[in-house]
Every structure is written in structure tokens, then in C-alpha cells.
Structure 1
Amino acid sequence: MNAYYLAILQGSALTVGVSLCALLVSIVLGLLGAAAKLSGRPVLVAAATVYTTIIRGVPDLVVMLLVFYGGTIGLNHLFELAGSKTVVDINPFVAGVLTIGFIYGAYMTETFRGAIIAIPKGQLEAAWAFGMGKVQAFFRITTPQMIRYALPGFTNNWLVLIKATALVSLIGLKEMTYIAKQASAATRSPFVFFLFTAALFLVYTTVSLYALRKLNARYSLGTKRGQM
């Protein structure tokens, strides 16, 4: 039994790895999506709107299976049409990271867009009046305030993202949920192993919530904000 608990702990490191890598992907996509929606260019606005609408309307599990199985079939078909005998097998870790990042990039898009809209336009106009360029004004005026406004929504997205990593067990990635499932089948004691896995997820989300609340408090100095 102890060996299974140790294996689940080792698998939890992979869970953290998937979560952090997917978070990075979602932040990049979220910033690009927010920029597209606020660009005022019809094509970019439409593309970003379609992206967020579809992703937020389709279950995460369905998207993951489409990327993992559909992506593999699609790439192999393209190689076959090109006359190549190369067989592509998408790595479960890569598929999990890209899929979860792609999904939560849609949620981050709305979070960042709302945060940027909340910043008074007069502050940017004042920065330009003082001679700041658009890039300088973005990093010195927009970014710090965007972080402050985005942190509550970002926190919620991150907590849900961590829990969503359990889905990668369905595509064969041996993270802690996958190992807990194997241990349950081998010992016929599913309750204890899934309870242990749930406790580990609770630890990760609790530590994350504490850290992000501290960060939120730092960026909210001098302002009155509600609790996350």
C-alpha cells in the first residue's frame, strides 16, 4: 500500500508540471486574445470571439480527446498524403499541456480584456502627454493595473485549471489521478487512494489561493478591494 502512496506523490509532481506549463500557454493565449478583442480590427475581434465562444461552450474532456486522437489521426493522414511513412504519436504530456492551455486561454482572454477595460483611459492619455510611447505606457501604466484588476479572475481560472489536469489521465499520462486509478484497480480499495489524491489537490489549491491572495493584497495597496 505504501508503494502506491509514494507513486501517487511522485505523480503529483507531474500534475504540477502540467499545470504550470498549461498556465504559461493560457497566459500567452489570453494576452493575445485580449489584444485581438480590443484591437478594433473586425477580423481579429471576430477570430478572438469565435475562439472564446467555442472553447467556453465545449466540454474540456471533448476538446482534449479531439486534440489527442483527432490531432494524431490528422497529422498521420497529412503525412500519408505527402507520401511519407512517418507515423506521428502525440506525447500525452504535450497534448495535455496544449489542450488545457488552449482551453483556459479563452477564459484568460476575458479576464485580461475586462482588466484592461477597467483601467481609466485618462491615465494612458496622461502618460502619452508626458512623452511616454505606447510600449512604455503599456508596461509602466497598463500592466501593473491590469494585474491588480485581473488577479481575482486569474485566481479562479488557475484553481480550476489545476483540477482540470485530472483529465489528462484519460489520455494515458501517468499523473497522480492515473496512478490512483491503477492503485484502486489493483487493491480494490478505490476510496483511500482517491481520497489521498483529493487531499493533494486540496493542498495545491489552498497554497495557491494563499499565495495569490498575498499577491492581490500587494497590488491592491491604497485601494479598497473585495476578498477573492
Structure 2
Amino acid sequence: MGGFAAQFADAFMTTVGLALISGIIGTAVGLLLAISKSVPKARFKAVVTAYTTVVRGVPELLIILLIYFGGTIFASKVVGRYVEVNAFTAGVVALTVVFSGYATEVFRGAIAAVPAGQTEAAKSLGLNAWQRWAFVVCPQMLRLALPAYGNLWISLFKDTALVSIVGLTDIMRVAFVGAGSLRAPLTFYLAASALYLSLTTITLVSIRLAERRYPALGQ
């Protein structure tokens, strides 16, 4: 593979960084949106529903392209000259949007599955709304959401490969360049597959350990 081993190593770290930043921010946004959808008479429930519908209905690749080229056009107009959006930044924003859209529905479904009696018991103990969410609903919801939430992380690591289309030097980009330069597509794509598989396997094992540590309600 010539001198591409070092490039693969750098690309691997780029892919991990892209996924972690997007996943962490997307989790926070998804949780906030899920709570807003679950609160009775919430003001922005319709807006959140429209957001998740659009995100889940548009292919991830299109979202990346829209944010990358849309961001470039917007930045260029603001500055008054051509400004190209950084590929990593565009990837983070796009994958955060995608992850948060799916995470919102995962968390919302888990919140709905928490027995209503838990909230009533918390009220009877004098806990306010914030305390009920922080100490009663969310901890139980997270246990219920773990399997689907873990699948989101696996999908996220694989979706990072799509960002290579806007020029990000990630695992997929290095594999594509190397395959063309050395005319050894099978070797490079197998290497890329092994790297992605290692990431998804680590994620899967982590989720399995978390499920054993925090078993779902009723188990």
C-alpha cells in the first residue's frame, strides 16, 4: 500500500473525530427535542415534528451536499467574496442534523415507554418538573433507548464515509485516492472496510456492555 498507511491512520482519526463530535452534539439536541415533543402543550411540537420528518425523509448524502454548498453560498454572500466551507465543519453540521433527527424519535419513543406511575410518584415526593425529568424520566428512558441508540451510532460511523464527497480526507477518501493511484481497488477498499468494521464493532461491544450494566425496565 506504499505510503498510504500513515494517511489511513490520519484519516481514521479524522473519521473518529467527525463521528464523536456529531454524535455527542446530536445526542444533546435529540434529547432536548424529544423532551419538547413529550411535554404536553409544548409550543414547538409541530416544528420539531416537521424537523424530524424532513431529516428522516431526505437521504443523508443530500443533506451533506445541501449544507456544504448552501453554507458556501451563504458565507460568500456575507463576506462579499467566495468562501468555501470547510469540509469537516460541513460534515459535523450535516451528521449532527441527521443524528439528532433520528435520536429525537428514539428518545421520544423511550420516554413514552416509561410508566406514567413513575412521574406521578415523583410528583407526590415533591419533585419539580426539572427534577422529574433529570432524576426519574431520563435515567429510565436512556435504559430503554440503548439498543436503538446504539444502532444510531453504528450508522453514524458508516455515514461519515459520505462526507468524502465534499473533499474531507477521511477513510473513504484515502481508500478512493489510493485505489486510483496504485490501481489496487480491492486492497484499499478491503482496508477501508476493516477500519469501518473495527469502529462499528467497538461501538457494538460498548452498547452491549452498557445494556448489561443498565438493563431495561422489566428485565
Query: How far is 1:86 from its partner?
Result: 4.8
Paired AA for residue 28 in structure 1: A
- The structure 1 residue matched to 2:91, chosen from 90, 93, 96, is 96
Task: Return 5+ residue gaps in structure 1 as ranges.
Answer: none
1:150-203 residue CA offsets vs partner (Å, 9 max, x unmatched): 101101111001100001111111111111111111101111011001011111
Q: How does 1:27-176 map to 2 (within 5 A)?
A: 27-41=27-41, 43-77=43-77, 79=78, 85-176=80-171
Q: Equivalent residue of 1:170, what SS? A: helix
- Kept after mapping to 1: 8 A contact 2:56/2:102: yes
Q: Which moves more between the two structures, 215-224 or 111-120?
A: 215-224
State the distance in 1 between where 2:217 and 2:165 align. Answer: 46
Paired AA for residue 58 in structure 1: V
Residue identity over aligned pairs, in percent, reads 37
- Kept after mapping to 1: 8 A contact 2:144/2:217: no
TM-score when scaled to structure 1? 0.91
Q: Moved runs in structure 1, 4+ residues, more than 4 A? A: none
TM-score when scaled to structure 2? 0.94
How many residues align? The count is 219
State the distance in 2 between where 1:104 and 1:222 align. Answer: 25
* 1:178 matched residue in structure 2: 173
Q: Equivalent residue of 1:215, what SS? A: helix
* 1:190 matched residue in structure 2: 185
- Kept after mapping to 1: 8 A contact 2:68/2:85: yes
State the distance in 2 between where 1:138 and 1:28 align. Answer: 14
Q: Equivalent residue of 2:3, what SS? A: helix
1:121-171 residue CA offsets vs partner (Å, 9 max, x unmatched): 111111111122222222221121011011011011110011000011111
